[in-house]
Structure 1
Amino acid sequence: MKEDTDPINLYEPRVFTSKFMPSPELVARLKGDVNKFLIVRVEDMYKHVTRPVPATRATIHSMLFLTSGAATMKIGSDTYTIQPGQVLIVPAGQVFSFCEKDVNRGYLCSFHDDFLIGKFSSERLKDFEFLRVWGNPRISLDAQTGQFVEHLFSRILLDYAEYGLNNLDIIQPYLITLLCEINRAYTPMSGSTQTSAVSLTNRFKELLFTHVRTHHRVTDYATLLHITPNHLNKTVKAITGKSPTKWIDEAIVLEAKVLLSQRTTSISLVAADVGFTDQAYFTRLFKKQEGITPSTFQKMIDLS
């Protein structure tokens, strides 16, 4: 079994925007160290997206809140659409992609865990399940909470646009309050965070996110979790509706799509990077999940 490596690019915000949204106007709206924090109006950012953003990872958490229109994004293996009054979260390191045709208004706020050090501990941030890769990324707000959240986004943007990151004593507390308001409205995917089955399933997802390129069997994760493969199969299927094998296959293909989207990597190297010595087997798995071969997928990215 090969060692874990990390050949996948994690985009820092300024690199990401220059690659997918090249615009002096947008650059001018980004203040201070955008690898730590940024906030913009969605409409001021989205008009500069000229092509689909392929499977990608970022180094910071992102929160999208809409006041009008709709937004669709693929996060992990699932596609989500949000409407006004909803929030969509992309945790740092999670794979995401989106197209360029949505019409909407609202706010996009991104931040690194380090941005809140001194005000909020990294352990405390883990209490926000929506910032974990296994959390529910789509959060619906009631009317009153939606008003509070919109006000908080607006207040943070007002200070950021005028002063950048010079007034952290204002921006950080507002951001913490914003996270707390969203957390109050948050509903776990399973509907409950209290059962041992949910806890086990979330631990499986966390391990899968970390070891997907080197651990491809249900028995690998059962060993890490100190349970039997049968117990893991029954638990994950009961909570998510999908078997651990399905989760593993989807995660492998998702990882491969990120690598293929980088365009400079050959199919054989992508197969090796996600843990396959047999390129033909990798191609069959990819086609089973996506309906097309890795080479066809890469050509589609080249044409976008």
Structure 2
Amino acid sequence: MNEIKVYDPRAFTSRFMPSRELESLLKGNLNKFLICRVEDMYQHVKQAVSASRSLTHSCLFLTEGSAVMKIGSEEYRIRKGEMLFVPAGQVFSFDIHDRNKGIFCNFHDDMLLGKYGNSELLKEFEFLKVWGKPHIELDKDTAGFVGHLFERMLQEYTEHGLEHMNILQPYLIALFCEVNKGYQPVLANQQTNAVSITNRFRELVFQNIRNRHMVSDYAAMLNISPSHLNKLVKMTTHKAPTKWIDETIVQEAKVLLSQSDFPISEVAIQVGFEDQSYFTRLFKRYEGMTPTEFRRMIKMS
């Protein structure tokens, strides 16, 4: 079975924004860390970025204008002083018409580990989870602090690349701690056990969607009954587990339709359906068009 293509930063920039000028701004091991001005990067985007996913996390902080990006099954618009995160492995797409300025940063989990970090930070920063809230609105003071931290990292990276990780890593961690103060948890004010199970369910769906479509499968992995899982997920998210599963299937299919030339029947098989007609009905229910129509739209864009 062919795997959905997952881009590393170098492959992504080469595919969607090929430019020697941009290459000169990106230094060292891009799979570990990179930072640049939004206007310096996205002026080189020549085509809309169709459904894709990355090996690393990324974040966008705007100082002017606005930006629209689809992350998972939701579309987000951010403005000056706001941030948008795309966790590693999450499906994202965006068009080329936005006019804005700000900072773009891409980083591996390793940037939060090692000398100045620890594994607890990865648990604390919910916005780096595929089920977390990617859009964060910062108050004026926090936006100012975040802007200063980004500028300091950008200066260090521009002058020395990744040579001084003892500077870059603490600044990045401090920045995320500032962001975390303004972050509103997805399931705030809910029962702790229900939140924990729901978050684990969403993570398992993300990891197993190509071969597990039944609520009972995930209930078994969580050692609870399907009815109990259904109750907890609906209580905390106001959405049934079946809908979370269906939406994730559609996102997976959109990546395949965008990145491959597989026949629709093969795309259906790749996401776990032998019945192409059922897959087509499911896709149309959520996207308002058939897989064939979606692929045609992507090619035209």
Task: Tell me, yes or no, whether TM beats 0.5.
Answer: yes
Pair 1:141 & 2:121 matched? no
Distance in 1 of aligned mates of 2:143 and 2:190: 24
Give the fraction of aligned pairs with identical amino acids, expressed as a percent: 59
Match of 1:124 among 99, 121, 127: 121
What's 2:75 paired with? 79
Task: Determine if contact 1:149/1:178 at 8 Å carries over to the other structure.
Answer: yes
What SS does the corresponding residue of 2:259 show, helix, strand or coil?
coil
What secondary structure, in the 3-state scheme, does the structure 2 residue paired with 1:276 have? coil
C-alpha distance in 1 between matches for 2:83 and 2:76: 11
Q: 1:264, 1:25 → 2: CA distance?
A: 31
Greater CA drift, 140-149 or 119-128: 119-128
For residues 194 and 230 of structure 1, what CA distance do their matches in structure 2 show?
18
C-alpha separation in 1, matches of 2:4 and 2:189: 33
Q: Which whole-Å CA distance do the structure 2 matches of 1:184 and 1:256 have between them?
A: 35
- Structure 2, unaligned runs of 5 or more: none
**Contact 1:29/1:161 (<8 A) preserved:** yes
Q: What is the match of residue 89 of structure 2?
A: 93
Aligned with residue 282 of structure 1, among 279, 283, 287: 279
Match of 2:46 among 40, 45, 50: 50
TM-score, normalised to structure 1, is 0.95
Give the one of 15, 20, 26 matched to 2:16: 20
**In 1, Cα distance between the equivalents of 2:263 and 2:162?**
41
In structure 1, distance between residues paired with 2:286 and 2:42: 30
Take 2:144 and 2:23, find their aligned partners in 1: how far apart are those partners? Answer: 29
Over 3 Å off, 4+ runs:
none
Q: Is the 8 A contact 2:190 2:236 kept in 1?
A: no
Deviation of 1:115 after TM superposition, in Å, equals 3.4
Residue type matched to 1:111 in 2? F
CA distance in 2, matches of 1:193, 1:36: 35
2:205–2:248 CA contact under 8 A, matched in 1: yes
Sort the Cα spacing of 1:194 and 1:160 in 2 relative to 1 into closer, same or farther, 3 A. farther
Deviations 1:189-246 (A, max 9, x none): 2224762221111111011111111111111111111222222222212221211111
Task: Tell me how far apart the structure 1 counterparts of residues 155 and 121 of structure 2 sit (CA, whole Å).
Answer: 27
1:236 paired residue among 233, 245, 251: 233
Separation (CA, whole Å) in 1 of partners of 2:289 and 2:104: 33
Residues of 2 paired with 1:169 and 1:258: CA distance? 37
Amino acid at match of 2:110: D
Contact in 1 for aligned 2:112/2:121 (Cα 8 Å): no
Change beyond 3 A, Cα 1:148–1:51 = same
State the partner residue of 1:63: 59
Partner of 1:11: 7
Which segments of 5 or more consecutive residues in structure 1 lack a partner in the other structure?
none
Are the equivalent residues in 1 in contact too, given 2:112–2:122 (CA < 8 A)?
A: no
CA distance in 1, matches of 2:31, 2:189: 34
Change (3 A) 1:10 1:123: farther
User: Residue 223 in 1 paired to residue 220 in 2?
Assistant: yes
| Equivalent position to 1:158, from 147, 155, 162 | 155
